């Protein structure tokens, strides 16, 4: 409930944004700051420097090509050399192998991780849970979580490894980026594409959330197929910052570069948020999950969760995602003579789940807001015993609305390796398997005879 209230508060005071998913946009904090007719004039308006940021190779096909031009007070190269950050971070992984992670097919679940008392910002609060592949080879993903309580000070993070999709669960994030500012509340998500410098303020103090990082590709809206031209996440609900800049000296400003899962720092004496105008189709954005327009069954059976895909990061294989971001939003359940909760299943894709607020329809107990679960490739899972028994008892056939809930799934075709600190975490629920152990046989041979007689 608190999360929803936060959301209302923030949208009331929210910033003004540009809109449209993947659109070619432009924004000027000072009128006339964008060059007209060309990208790189000999002299830019107001004496600004022109700088391009490429999110795809120069030669990527036009429909996949992402780049933006920024017009800034000083170019971002104006800094001292990068050096390994001290103390090193040590809990970020971008190339998963047996030196930094392990495998297990078992069902994993974690309680919400406590938010530390000691001052911790977004960078220090971030830790990898699991992932697969390699940022070096530009194919793979990492799932991180963060628990933190204070704003980043006099520093910005730049992720050379991949795009961050941030899902705040507790506490708002005020994110300053080179393109401008994003205010993100629990119930909203933000995407910080590879390479953008950004700084995270935590106006509410104690904060927690989830981060999916993808290497080598970007998020897209899913195709809608027979659904038609509308539905699910609408392009116009994706909000992009308007140009915002700060000028003047900032002695000792630190750029923290995440590169191959390691952190490097470089000093400069000015703010990286010195972009007076920009244009292009490569920019950070946010999306309010309550804007999602769910489609689902209107007669029988439980739809596959892909019906609730908000964003997908593709692989080269059609229909096979490097990472899908799927939500389980409030919606009407109307299916007749149907087991309405998620079905029991084994999936060739791997499923990491989190809960932003409320409860989750497949778990009566134990899966809490801020907690997480991981069901890897072909690991069986489904509703817990209580959910199954209650559903059978109710024999629900009347329309019923599930409310006050927002669970989500990061689903990937790559089999995740799990970081040891996650596997051995004190927040791990070692009794998770117990939630299914009580499922008893309801098999009755006599029923089969009755059913056969009816056919």
Residues annotated catalytic, as ranges? 302
Reported in sequence order, the residue ranges of 55-114 that DSSP labels E, i.e. its strands, are: 67-72, 83-84, 101-102, 108-110
Does 375 appear as a known binding residue? no
Nearest-approach distance from CB 206 to ligand OMD, in angstroms: 28
Q: How far is 328 from 413, CA to CA, in rounded Å?
A: 20
Instruction: Check whether the bond before 371 is cis (ω within 30° of 0).
Output: no
The stretch among 143-151, 239-247, 313-321, 342-350 that binds ligand OMD (CB under 6 A) is 342-350
Q: How far is 356 from 364, CA to CA, in rounded Å?
A: 16
- Per DSSP, the three-state class of 89 is coil
Of the pair 351, 384, the CB lying nearest Fe ion is at 351
Q: How far is 213 from 134, CA to CA, in rounded Å?
A: 11
Does 357 appear as a known binding residue? no
Is the Cβ–Cβ distance between 123 and 89 less than 8 Å?
Answer: yes
Site size toward ligand OMD (CB under 6 A) is 10
Nearest CA among 196, 211, 174, 222 for reference residue 21: 222
Q: Which two tokens stand for residue 182?
A: 């994003």
Contacts of 10 (CB under 8 A, 6+ apart): 172, 183, 185, 188
* 144 interacts with, out of ligand OMD, Fe ion, none, CB within 5 to 8 A per kind: none
Q: Binding to ligand OMD by residue 362, rule CB under 6 A?
A: yes
Distance (Å) of CA 20 to CA 65, 240, 284, 441:
16, 8, 12, 51
Nearest-approach distance from CB 324 to ligand OMD, in angstroms: 11
Of the pair 193, 383, the CB lying nearest ligand OMD is at 383
Distance (Å) of CA 169 to CA 95, 187, 193, 356, 425:
26, 7, 20, 5, 19
Pick out residues in 270-309 that bind ligand OMD (CB under 6 A).
302, 305
Phi and psi dihedrals of 306, rounded to 5? -55, -20
Nearest-approach distance from CB 434 to ligand OMD, in angstroms: 17
Is the Cβ–Cβ distance between 130 and 416 less than 8 Å?
Answer: yes
* 409 interacts with, out of ligand OMD, Fe ion, none, CB within 5 to 8 A per kind: ligand OMD
> Whats the size of the chain, residue-wise?
455
Q: Binding to ligand OMD by residue 342, rule CB under 6 A?
A: yes
Residue in 124, 163, 288, 351 binding ligand OMD, rule: CB under 6 A? 351
Nearest CA among 210, 209, 145, 198 for reference residue 174: 198
Of the pair 23, 338, the CB lying nearest ligand OMD is at 338
* 258 interacts with, out of ligand OMD, Fe ion, none, CB within 5 to 8 A per kind: none
Does 351 appear as a known binding residue? yes
Nearest-approach distance from CB 341 to ligand OMD, in angstroms: 8
Distance (Å) of CA 248 to CA 10, 45, 253, 270:
29, 18, 12, 7
Of the pair 209, 382, the CB lying nearest ligand OMD is at 382
Is the Cβ–Cβ distance between 184 and 14 less than 8 Å?
Answer: no
Pick out residues in 90-129 that bind ligand OMD (CB under 6 A).
none
Q: Binding to ligand OMD by residue 358, rule CB under 6 A?
A: no
* 197 interacts with, out of ligand OMD, Fe ion, none, CB within 5 to 8 A per kind: none
The stretch among 77-85, 130-138, 235-243, 344-352 that binds ligand OMD (CB under 6 A) is 344-352
Helical segments of 36-169, H only: 122-125
Q: Binding to ligand OMD by residue 416, rule CB under 6 A?
A: no
Of the pair 313, 374, the CB lying nearest Fe ion is at 374
The stretch among 65-73, 184-192, 265-273, 341-349 that binds ligand OMD (CB under 6 A) is 341-349
Q: Cα angle vertex 286, ends 228, 26, to 5°?
A: 90
Q: Which two tokens stand for residue 438?
A: 């009580």
Of the pair 79, 340, the CB lying nearest ligand OMD is at 340
Nearest-approach distance from CB 381 to ligand OMD, in angstroms: 5
Q: Binding to ligand OMD by residue 409, rule CB under 6 A?
A: yes
Closest residue to ligand OMD, based on beta-carbon distance: 342
The stretch among 90-98, 132-140, 269-277, 340-348 that binds ligand OMD (CB under 6 A) is 340-348
Q: Binding to ligand OMD by residue 381, rule CB under 6 A?
A: yes
Nearest-approach distance from CB 355 to ligand OMD, in angstroms: 11
Known binding-site positions for homogentisate: 360, 381
Known binding-site positions for Fe cation: 345, 351, 381
- Applying CB under 6 A, which residues contact ligand OMD? 302, 305, 342, 345, 347, 351, 362, 375, 381, 409
């Amino acid at each position: 409930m608190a999360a929803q209230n936060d959301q209302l508060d923030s949208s009331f005071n929210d910033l003004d944004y540009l809109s449209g998913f993947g659109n070619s946009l432009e924004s000027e904090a000072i009128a006339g700051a964008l060059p007209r007719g060309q990208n790189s004039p000999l002299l830019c308006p107001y004496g600004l420097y022109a700088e391009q940021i490429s999110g795809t190779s120069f030669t990527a096909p036009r429909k996949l090509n992402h780049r933006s031009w920024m017009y800034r007070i000083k170019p971002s190269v104006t800094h001292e050399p990068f050096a390994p950050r001290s103390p090193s971070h040590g809990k970020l992984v971008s190339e998963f192998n047996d030196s930094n992670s392990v495998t297990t097919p078992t069902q994993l679940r974690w309680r919400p991780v406590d938010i530390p008392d000691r001052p911790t910002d977004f960078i220090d609060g971030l830790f990898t849970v699991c992932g697969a592949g390699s940022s070096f080879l530009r194919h793979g993903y990492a799932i991180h979580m963060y628990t933190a309580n204070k704003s980043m000070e006099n520093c910005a993070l730049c992720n050379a490894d991949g795009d961050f999709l941030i899902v705040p669960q507790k506490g708002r994030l005020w994110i300053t980026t080179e393109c401008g500012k994003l205010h993100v509340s629990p119930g909203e998500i933000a995407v910080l594409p590879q390479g953008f410098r950004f700084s995270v303020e935590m106006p509410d103090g104690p904060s927690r959330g989830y981060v999916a990082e993808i290497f080598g590709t970007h998020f897209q809206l899913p195709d809608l197929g027979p659904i038609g031209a509308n539905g699910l996440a609408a392009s116009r609900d994706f909000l992009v910052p308007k140009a915002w800049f700060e000028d003047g000296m900032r002695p000792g400003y630190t750029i923290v570069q995440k590169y191959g899962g390691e952190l490097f720092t470089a000093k400069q004496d000015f703010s990286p948020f010195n972009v007076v105008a920009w244009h292009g189709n490569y920019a950070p954005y946010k999306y309010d999950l309550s804007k999602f327009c769910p489609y689902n069954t209107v007669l029988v059976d439980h739809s596959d969760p892909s019906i609730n895909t908000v964003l997908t990061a593709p692989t080269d294989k059609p229909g096979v995602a490097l990472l899908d971001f799927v939500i389980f939003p409030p919606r009407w359940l109307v299916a007749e003579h149907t087991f309405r909760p998620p079905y029991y299943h084994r999936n060739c894709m791997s499923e990491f789940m989190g809960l932003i607020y409320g409860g989750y329809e497949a778990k009566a107990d134990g899966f809490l807001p801020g907690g997480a679960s991981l069901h890897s490739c072909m690991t069986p899972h489904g509703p817990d015993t209580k959910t199954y028994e209650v559903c059978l008892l109710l024999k629900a056939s009347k329309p019923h609305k599930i409310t006050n809930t927002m669970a989500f799934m990061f689903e990937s075709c790559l089999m995740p390796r799990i970081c040891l600190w996650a596997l051995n975490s004190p927040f791990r629920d070692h009794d998770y398997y117990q939630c299914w152990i009580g499922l008893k046989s309801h098999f009755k041979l006599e029923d089969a005879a009755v059913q056969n007689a009816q056919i």
